[in-house]
Structure 1
Amino acid sequence: MLRGEPGIGKTELLTYLLEGSTGCRLLRAAGVESEMELSYAGLHQLCAPLLAGLDRLPEPQRDALRTVFGLRDGAPPNRFLVGLAALSLLADAAGDQPLVCLVDDAQWLDRVSAQTLEFVARRLYAESILLVFAVREPSPGETLGGLPELKVTRLTDSDSRTLLESVVAGRLDEGVRDRIVAESSGNPLALLELPRGLTAAEMAGGFMRPDARPLSSQLEHGFLRRVRALPAETQRLLFAAAAEPVGDVMLLRRAAGRLGIAVDEAALHAEASGLVTLGTSVRFRHPLVRSAAYHAAGLDERREVHMALADATDAQLDPDRRVWHLARATAGPDETVAAELERSADRAQARGGVAAAAAFLSRAAELTPDPARRGARTLAAAQATYQAGAFHAALELADASELSPLDELDAAKLALLRGRLTFYTRGASAGVPLLIEAAKRLDPLDARIARATYWEACFTALTAGPLPSEVAEAILAAPKAAEPTREVLILAGLARRTAEGYAAGAPVLLEALAAFQTGAVSAEQGLGWLPLACRMASDTWDFEGWSVLSARLVDLARGAGALTVLGSALLHRLPNRVRAGDLAGAESLAAEVVAVGEAVGSGFWAHYGALFLEPWRGRESATHQAIEAITQAARHVAGHGRMLADTQWAAAVLYNGLGRYEEAAAAAKRGCENPEEFGLATDSMVELIEASARLGRPADAAEAVQRISDMAQAAGTDWALGTRAYVRALASEGPAADDRYREAIERLGKTENRMALARARLCYGEWLRREGRRVDARAQLGGAHEMLSQFGAAAFAERASRELRATGATVSKPAVATHEELTSQEARIARLAADGLTNPEIGARLFISPHTVEWHLGKVYSKFGISSRKEIPSVIRASFKSF
């Protein structure tokens, strides 16, 4: 990042770099303020010379770039998938020779191009790629922050004097010189440009008059003066070039012809001025020249030039830029142009360019003569602006839409939008009531949108804690469908669980989950509803449903490149795999969680991955680090009750595995403090019951035993009933305990929850040993030890080992692999390679290029003393058990 004020020399440094990049392939782009609304315009400008390489990208990435560049129709891709595709395209281009990418005036890049290039910049590990941005300071927004920076500072007084004297003819009075140097504040462009055309008398007073504007405006004013000194036709040509940001010389010539400009003569004067170069493309001497040239024209002339550019732009090849020029050329209401803008907004939405869609719709609304249609378009612009994340601008448009008549459906949609905006600006407690009110208004108008709004209210409420009773009551009071869908069922089940109790809601939820498992789920439905379904599957002890639906959700999120959903999807899937005893698979998921978190700027997710894994291995330090990080984050977000339950459950598992039962019981009690959270709050009850039993204080957990028993009876699954038998066994003595342990092992053995089965066998074996039944104890403890060791649950395996030795059995210690320590990224890649993923597949999971994957694998081979990929599954996966 080159940062500095206007005129400080950023563009000159890029030119210097360009001229010095011998043997490299060069790509250039520049942000243009007038193009900030056209999504992916900047990225397309940079990548256009590389489009022939699209066919070498994986299909999802290839389709993503083709969609956002308007080369194909399709659903709007997620911007992170676009980022990965751009990274792959650039990395592919750098395969033959180093690649230098220069982006000037990056503060004027459209938002998604800036986000995409920032994503790419953070992942240039092993590629021969240099990506350099020049950014004006101060610049709008925070995009492109956090990259390595070179601050371009002002010249010293000595250098300023030298530079000034190089452009001033004749001798300059020392006092005047020193005053100009002081007032220029070391800005080289000011020293070069402002003296041009000034007389000695004008220079005598310097240029800091009492009414002087900021330096950047003075610089622009200097360029403006030079533009206005040119012949009239040359001025118009420069203005047309400034209004056409692509730099297409042939398009400029066509537009100039429509304006009646003698192009060749005007071009000669333009180039002689030193302000612009008209070669294979249009290049202004400095970004401020473009700004000055644009502002040199009056309003009527601007409209005339934009109309000429619209006429010169191919309506088939570039309809959106054509209509944008047309809209700027239109003075008053015009339904034809407004309708074209609306169609451009649809195309922008299809490419994932919601910011562009918002700009098109906003201008369409301004040009709409019919008040009713104007209101609808303004509302659509507000919705697109909300989707782009500009909440305050969306609120202004929402207010503006009310100035026009809205029909009942649009009025209800406006209420929904206000609910969403309120949630993001003021929190869930303020937003949820508005969402419920919107859902009620939508009920008689559009049942599908109403149902989705109830779901949104539920999910919004659940981010801050349990479902509020008023939300549950509103859902139950909504009109009933003749044949309820699975979506209706899951909302009804959740509402009944809140309003009427777990026993009333669980059967309805299980019915809905069965429907989700057996029926087809589209990407849109899955990404919307499956996160809630996965959470309800865990809450109702439906392990099979949890496994099936979490796997489906992860696949859908990966396929769509929906990273915000993918992060939560992985965190639904990861604990499921841990409980299935697949800690190696969970490691791969955790690696992906870290990569997704880095991509979206959320380290919080990575800590949650550790929270689900580290306690089972008995890693006290790593577990506490995750707990501390999540606890700190919980202070700043809603839903802290659920986070408390999660962290305390992890501590309880850790201490139960280590055999430190007092600490386990204390943590589990804290985790049980919010039982309405279900999930890990319920699991904390299980940990409390086990710790209390080992401490000889079963009465401490009597209430938890009863609560789990009641819930399990209502759910009725093998996981639920097996858990009920297990906790009852822990709280029992004599033959009753024996029978209940056997029932627990039988029922849990029918499920995929192998971790619960292993722990039941461990506790049964411990109980048998205390009862003096050593032979029976060895059988159970030996089976538990084998399972837990195979899983990699080191703490619980060691606990089983201690108990086995207490029975007189001999337990061999597992071999521990010795190797040079892998970095976290090397470990992630090694885990995924052990799962059989190819380099492109690993790159897609971790948002790096295949070349970077190969580079890291080379280090893994060296550290483990292996020479080929074939050795990875046996050597590396076995080694992970010692990590």
Structure 2
Amino acid sequence: MDIWVVGDGLDWRLCLAAAVAMSKSDRVLGLRGRRSECESLEQLVTSVRTGQSRVLVLRGDAGIGKTALLEYIAGRASECRIARATGVESEMELAFAGLHQLCAPFLDRLDRLPAPQRNALGTAFGLRDGNAPDRFLIGLAVLSLLSDVAEDRPLVCLVDDAQWLDQASAHTLAFVARRLFAESVALVFATRTTADDQAFGRLPEMRVRELGDADSRVLLRAAVRGPLDAAVFDGIVAEARGNPLALLELPRGRTPAQLAFGPGLPNTMPLASRMEQGFLRRLQPLPVETRRLLLAAAVEPVGDVTVLRHAAELLGITPDAAAPAVEAGLVKFGARVRFRHPLVRSAAWRSADVHDLRAVHGALAEATRLDPDRRAWHHAQASSRPDEVVATELEHSADRAQARGGFAAAAAFLERAAELTPDPVHRAARVLAAAQAKFQAGEFDPALDLLAAAAAGPLNDLGRARIDLLRAQIAYASSRSNEAPRLLLAAAMRLEPLDIELARETYLNAFSAAMYAGRFARAADLAEVAAAVPRATTDHTRKRDILLEGLAYLVRDGYSAALPIVRRALQAYRTEEISVAEGLRSLWLAGVVAADVWDDESFHILSARFVKIARDAGALSELLLALNSRILMLLFAGEQEAAASTVDEARAVREAIGSERPLYEVMVFAAWQGREEHAFPLIEASMSEVVARGEGIGAAVAQWANALLFNGLGRYEDALVPARAAGEFPQELAAANWGLTELIEAAARSGATDLAADALKRLSEMTQACGTDWALGVESRSRALLTEGGAAEPLYREAIERLGRTRVRAELARARLLYGEWLRREGRRLDAREQLRAAHDVFTAMGAEAFGERARRELLATGETARKRTAETRDQLTAQEAQIARLAALGRTNSEIGAQLFISPRTVEWHLRKVFTKLGISSRRELSAALPDAVQAIHPLNPGVIEGSPGPVLAC
């Protein structure tokens, strides 16, 4: 039998007597009919003991036996450490409440985590102040924490009633579950069949089915006292439909006559409701004080007996009131209050009189001293009329929730605060704030509903402008909608006379949205946004404002007029201090502008800076965008290994956050490699996706990549159509410019000289104005393709000289290749060899196989041979093994590697052991020799710094 330990707090004098009096149906009956489930769970525990991680979702109806299976796991995991959490319906609005239950025993290990992770988790749990942490960084912190705990003993985490976890906890634990691999951690969730699958839907699951007829009969016989008519017995078995809890509970509370002459509850009622009604029948005979005590226990979500004792005293409930509920087998009072089943809690809650419910909430509010947010929530539920004091308290709780990253909780606090706000103007403002919090939580439809409610209130002009802004932000964030530029522009124009700072930020967002939409913008394209931006009346000093002005001039007045302002903005972003918030908001746009004006140095510095800020902040959604820009820069720079490593990181981020964003960087990387069988399907798939999403910039990148692929393969006529399409829409900025360069080469080599000349004219208008070595070098290379006879040679030489002063080694190699091809056709084989050999070496080093093969064939035609690139030993490694090996060769620790790839240090070590075996080495010191290319990006003067990065890569 169970032994109930009476914790310090409630002095329930009759608990022991009630335990002795338990009915035999409450004793252990074994898990009848669950042999296959138990065998699977035993294998799960065995795997964890041997150093592997396992994740499982037990899914089934209420009462089907999920909790019993969790207890079975706990009983078989005697050598493991057990951690538990239980979702509570009344606690769903409190951010990270469920996660805190699970992690609370391990918080003494918090200082062992990397600083960003430690700060994020501490902030989420309210242990320290700080900016709202990224939810994925919190997930990484929990992964590291559980992995650290499992270093001592295998860890089994059991989460019951997961359908009632708060949103923040559910998504964090699902993130952790997807990243577990070799940590000796089991994470097992029990949830309802009908639960929302948004968090746990993609995890391995076990359906807990109904018991068979024979097992149902054995269980019912154990539950029924005394003889029972065979027909009635059969009726109860049929009514229970194999649900173990129903078999135990349906006979309870019924008189012998009811058992003999009728099945009781009508079959039309859902089984869970019938079982809840069964528990309700068991509650009704209890004394009033006992029912009120159970109501207080049901409403107090943590099961804190100290808080419950104080609340009971305030309600005038004596300690003796607990005994009847314990004796009836409905609840246990120990270190925590535990109900026999969640349906007991819901029956006590839902059946309560509204006056009793308010009284209980009021008492719990007074008894809750250490948690101001729970106290505020209880006060709110106790209020029967508008109360500004309580509404203000809720507003403060919302502020604290937002600071912890609990935006869904903040929205709930603000919604209830609005309901309790007596002043209509203040009420509308709080509804608008609740909508903003819903938007930040990613709940776009509820946010729009709240916006409609706010719009019906007495808002001032600024409030209504904020409604317009939030509607536009939802349109942009939910789908990168091509309606977003128009909505953002309208919001910016409305905000301009009311809040100029917010208006300028909104104009920048409108530029980003218009750039994304590109050719698919239904209204408010880049030109319309630029035309609406007010011309500056003062000399701006803020980076953001200078960038906005430069963008407007660039689109509205052209490169010559814009460049002084644009260069000033880029210089500010390169050299001045930048806050995390500002960097996340505007560094991507600044990097695009740098690429558009052919400023390779700024593009390099800003893309590296964006990656560092996003990585250090753990802002994974922005990190994905930052990595995309960085990969493009690395490919232009010819740093293939660094680009491959960054592509791997982007894949890890995308998988970690469940992003469905098109694989731009993977597509472009494959195009540079020139592997048609790999690149072309990626390009086609990405093109279909971006067209469906209305992303013009994505279409430009896909078409540029397609043209790049075919030019590399020497299939110039195939490159013509995508190159022309890529460069057709100047509003897609840098990608359109790169499309023009591909068009010139494809058209010139296909004999379409008029088309090539027109493209060159458009290109030179930009490049002459920009005047950078990248711009003028590409122009000279392109012009040489259209120049007859010896006049082409100085153009090729100028291109090589100019591009040799830049970071864009890939552009330089292409200039050498074209010059070498021209020299060979001119019969100057020795001169051609020099250029072709240099181009071949660069292309081979950067893995540009198609361009490299072009150079090799030309070398053969000059009488010189060049080896094809052969597969190396490291090609035997998986993508993740190669990424880990590269980072380890660069001197990263397991913790740093795990933070970058969103896996635990223990999983890193597991992969490294496999790498060592495949490469035939025994230590990290040998990796540099086994992977010679992996260390090419190390800064020659500082082994701890990657070439081109602003500093050491810090662990997330």
TM-score above 0.5: yes
Amino acid aligned to 1:183: E
Aligned equivalents of 2:428, 2:346: Cα separation in 1:
34
Is contact 1:183-1:206 (8 Å) kept?
A: no
C-alpha distance after superposition, 1:210-238 (max 9, x if no partner): 58521111111111121222222222221
Amino acid aligned to 1:876: L
Is contact 1:665-1:692 (8 Å) kept?
A: yes
> Residue 661 of structure 1 aligns with which residue?
716
Instruction: Tell me, yes or no, if structure 1 residue 548 matches structure 2 residue 605.
Output: yes
SS of the residue corresponding to residue 692 of structure 2 reads: coil
Please show how residues 157-176 of structure 1 align to structure 2 within 5 Å: 157-176=213-232
Is contact 2:707-2:742 (8 Å) kept?
A: yes
C-alpha distance after superposition, 1:41-77 (max 9, x if no partner): 1111111011011111000000000000000000000
In the TM superposition, residue 372 of structure 1 has moved relative to its aligned partner by 1.9
Amino acid aligned to 2:505: A
Aligned equivalents of 1:853, 1:61: Cα separation in 2:
17
Amino acid aligned to 1:744: A
Which of residues 623, 628, 634 in structure 2 aligns to 1:577? 634
SS of the residue corresponding to residue 198 of structure 2 reads: coil
Which of residues 369, 372, 387 in structure 1 aligns to 2:440? 387
Please show how residues 132-171 of structure 1 align to structure 2 within 5 Å: 132-140=188-196, 142-171=198-227
Please show how residues 217-366 of structure 1 align to structure 2 within 5 Å: 217-263=273-319, 265-314=320-369, 317-366=370-419
Aligned equivalents of 2:514, 2:254: Cα separation in 1:
66
Aligned equivalents of 2:832, 2:596: Cα separation in 1:
32
Aligned equivalents of 2:194, 2:435: Cα separation in 1:
28
Is contact 1:550-1:569 (8 Å) kept?
A: yes
Is contact 1:409-1:442 (8 Å) kept?
A: yes
In the TM superposition, residue 795 of structure 1 has moved relative to its aligned partner by 2.7
With over 3 angstroms needed to count, the CA separation of the structure-2 counterparts of 1:20 and 1:411, relative to structure 1, is: same
Aligned equivalents of 2:780, 2:315: Cα separation in 1:
87
Aligned equivalents of 2:736, 2:877: Cα separation in 1:
35
> Residue 775 of structure 2 aligns with which residue?
720
Aligned equivalents of 1:616, 1:855: Cα separation in 2:
32
> Residue 593 of structure 1 aligns with which residue?
650
Aligned equivalents of 2:625, 2:474: Cα separation in 1:
22
Aligned equivalents of 1:859, 1:17: Cα separation in 2:
31
Amino acid aligned to 1:114: A
Q: 5+ residue gaps in structure 2?
A: 1-56, 937-956
Aligned equivalents of 1:660, 1:879: Cα separation in 2:
32
> Residue 852 of structure 2 aligns with which residue?
797
SS of the residue corresponding to residue 260 of structure 1 reads: coil
Is contact 1:469-1:498 (8 Å) kept?
A: no
Is contact 1:78-1:352 (8 Å) kept?
A: yes
Which of residues 195, 199, 214 in structure 1 aligns to 2:251? 195
Is contact 2:641-2:933 (8 Å) kept?
A: no
TM-score (norm: length of structure 2): 0.88
Aligned equivalents of 1:256, 1:205: Cα separation in 2:
41
Amino acid aligned to 1:110: D
Aligned equivalents of 1:581, 1:247: Cα separation in 2:
60
Please show how residues 763-774 of structure 1 align to structure 2 within 5 Å: 763-774=818-829
In the TM superposition, residue 155 of structure 1 has moved relative to its aligned partner by 1.4
In the TM superposition, residue 247 of structure 1 has moved relative to its aligned partner by 1.6
Identity of aligned residues (%): 55
Is contact 1:615-1:651 (8 Å) kept?
A: yes
Amino acid aligned to 1:23: E
> Residue 433 of structure 1 aligns with which residue?
486
Instruction: Tell me, yes or no, if structure 1 residue 450 matches structure 2 residue 503.
Output: yes
Aligned equivalents of 1:580, 1:324: Cα separation in 2:
56
> Residue 52 of structure 1 aligns with which residue?
108
SS of the residue corresponding to residue 134 of structure 1 reads: strand
Aligned equivalents of 2:202, 2:811: Cα separation in 1:
44
Which of residues 512, 519, 523 in structure 1 aligns to 2:576? 519
SS of the residue corresponding to residue 518 of structure 2 reads: coil
Which of residues 703, 706, 718 in structure 2 aligns to 1:648? 703
Of structures 1 and 2, the one scoring higher in RCO (CA 8 A, sep 6+) is 2
C-alpha distance after superposition, 1:136-174 (max 9, x if no partner): 121135221111110011112222222222212222222
> Residue 16 of structure 1 aligns with which residue?
72
In the TM superposition, residue 631 of structure 1 has moved relative to its aligned partner by 2.6
Aligned equivalents of 1:666, 1:400: Cα separation in 2:
50
Q: C-alpha root-mean-square deviation of aligned residues, in Å? A: 2.2
TM-score (norm: length of structure 1): 0.95
Aligned equivalents of 1:242, 1:721: Cα separation in 2:
74
With over 3 angstroms needed to count, the CA separation of the structure-2 counterparts of 1:556 and 1:164, relative to structure 1, is: same
Aligned equivalents of 1:820, 1:731: Cα separation in 2:
41
Which of residues 817, 823, 839 in structure 1 aligns to 2:872? 817
With over 3 angstroms needed to count, the CA separation of the structure-2 counterparts of 1:506 and 1:287, relative to structure 1, is: same
Instruction: Please identify, of 411-420 and 43-52, the stretch whose mean Cα deviation from structure 2 is larger.
Output: 411-420
Instruction: Tell me, yes or no, if structure 1 residue 418 matches structure 2 residue 468.
Output: no
Which of residues 781, 802, 805 in structure 1 aligns to 2:836? 781
SS of the residue corresponding to residue 158 of structure 2 reads: strand
C-alpha distance after superposition, 1:430-454 (max 9, x if no partner): 4433322221221122111111111
SS of the residue corresponding to residue 465 of structure 1 reads: helix
Aligned equivalents of 2:252, 2:815: Cα separation in 1:
87
Instruction: Please identify, of 351-360 and 810-819, the stretch whose mean Cα deviation from structure 2 is larger.
Output: 810-819
C-alpha distance after superposition, 1:75-119 (max 9, x if no partner): 000000000000000111111111111111101111111000000
In the TM superposition, residue 493 of structure 1 has moved relative to its aligned partner by 3.3
Is contact 2:724-2:740 (8 Å) kept?
A: yes
Is contact 1:820-1:863 (8 Å) kept?
A: no
C-alpha distance after superposition, 1:292-340 (max 9, x if no partner): 12223211111111111111112xx311111111111122111111111
> Residue 534 of structure 1 aligns with which residue?
591
In the TM superposition, residue 666 of structure 1 has moved relative to its aligned partner by 4.3
Is contact 1:227-1:296 (8 Å) kept?
A: no
> Residue 945 of structure 2 aligns with which residue?
none
Aligned equivalents of 2:527, 2:778: Cα separation in 1:
28
In the TM superposition, residue 427 of structure 1 has moved relative to its aligned partner by 6.7
With over 3 angstroms needed to count, the CA separation of the structure-2 counterparts of 1:864 and 1:625, relative to structure 1, is: farther
With over 3 angstroms needed to count, the CA separation of the structure-2 counterparts of 1:370 and 1:251, relative to structure 1, is: same
Instruction: Please identify, of 424-433 and 389-398, the stretch whose mean Cα deviation from structure 2 is larger.
Output: 424-433
> Residue 510 of structure 1 aligns with which residue?
567
> Residue 65 of structure 1 aligns with which residue?
121
Aligned equivalents of 2:733, 2:435: Cα separation in 1:
37
Please show how residues 691-770 of structure 1 align to structure 2 within 5 Å: 691-770=746-825
In the TM superposition, residue 696 of structure 1 has moved relative to its aligned partner by 4.9
Aligned equivalents of 1:620, 1:540: Cα separation in 2:
30
Aligned equivalents of 2:721, 2:527: Cα separation in 1:
33
> Residue 888 of structure 2 aligns with which residue?
833
Is contact 2:489-2:524 (8 Å) kept?
A: no
Q: 5+ residue gaps in structure 1?
A: none
Aligned equivalents of 1:729, 1:352: Cα separation in 2:
56
> Residue 145 of structure 2 aligns with which residue?
89
> Residue 168 of structure 2 aligns with which residue?
112
Aligned length: 876
> Residue 407 of structure 1 aligns with which residue?
460
C-alpha distance after superposition, 1:350-370 (max 9, x if no partner): 101111111111111111122
> Residue 180 of structure 2 aligns with which residue?
124
